[in-house]
């Protein structure tokens, strides 16, 4: 069963609008106005996998202090938010020729494939990689059923 998720619906609408404007040749201009052009992608990049006991989320976050991150759970939805620092070179009289690395606040929301035990979630950050381990709720773990032989 799939639950209705406002963030997922808004992201889908955003992608459809981006594709619409990109197909008309206005993709770059539209992206500059809205901040959602072809250069901008979902941040951070995430891997999501699972085994019988846990769901694992890995997020690439180079240069972000883990103390500036916030991870929260609501139902089977995981949210990672924080701030990516920028460079203030404009004050030093420098001119940008290319600026592809985004900065500012971000929020990434994931709908998880199963219910988890939110009280046992663990997160660790090492060398710019955030790893979140989400133990599955007992009701969503596979159960072995013994077969009686008569």
Order of strands across the sheet with 104-111? 70-74, 77-84, 104-111
One domain, residues 11 and 68: no
Domain assignment of residue 5, yes or no: yes
One domain, residues 19 and 61: no
Domain assignment of residue 76, yes or no: yes
Domain assignment of residue 92, yes or no: no
- How far apart, in Å, do the first and last CA atoms of the chain sit? 37
Q: What is the pLDDT of residues 94-121, one digit of tens each?
A: 777 787 777 788 899 999 999 999 999 9
Interacting residues of 3 by C-beta distance below 8 A, sequence separation 6+: 75, 76, 111
pTM: 0.65
SS3 15: helix
For residues 31-38, average pLDDT: 46
Dihedral, CA atoms, 131, 55, 107, 35, nearest 10 degrees?
100
Q: What is the domain extent for residue 132?
A: 42-86+103-140
Q: What is the pLDDT of residues 67-85, one digit of tens each?
A: 989 999 998 899 999 988 7
User: Residue 68 sits in a domain of what CATH number?
Assistant: 2.60.40.790
- Between helix 27-34 and helix 6-23 the angle, nearest 10°, is 140
Query: CA 21, CA 34: separation in Å to the nearest integer?
Result: 12
One domain, residues 115 and 77: yes
One domain, residues 72 and 107: yes
Domain assignment of residue 94, yes or no: no
Residue pointed to by tokens 């992206």: 31
One domain, residues 9 and 76: no
Query: CA 72, CA 79: separation in Å to the nearest integer?
Result: 5
One domain, residues 110 and 73: yes
Phi/psi class of residue 11: alpha, beta or left (left: φ > 0; alpha: ψ in -120 to 50)?
alpha
Domain assignment of residue 148, yes or no: no
One domain, residues 9 and 53: no
pLDDT at 2 over 80: no
One domain, residues 67 and 116: yes
Residue 38's pLDDT is 37
């Amino acid at each position: 069963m799939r639950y209705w998720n406002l963030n997922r619906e808004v992201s889908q609408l955003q992608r459809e609008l981006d594709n619409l404007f990109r197909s008309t040749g206005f993709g770059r201009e539209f992206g500059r106005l809205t901040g959602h052009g072809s250069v901008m992608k979902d941040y951070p990049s995430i891997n999501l996998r699972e085994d019988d006991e846990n769901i694992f989320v890995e997020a690439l976050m180079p240069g972000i202090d883990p103390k500036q991150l916030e991870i929260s759970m609501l139902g089977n939805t995981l949210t990672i938010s924080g701030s990516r620092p920028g460079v203030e070179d404009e004050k030093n009289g420098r001119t940008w020729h290319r600026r592809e690395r985004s900065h500012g606040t971000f929020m990434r929301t994931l709908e998880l494939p199963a219910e988890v035990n939110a009280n046992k979630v663990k997160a660790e950050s090492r060398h710019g990689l955030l790893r979140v381990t989400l133990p599955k709720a007992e009701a969503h773990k596979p159960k072995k059923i013994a077969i009686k032989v008569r």
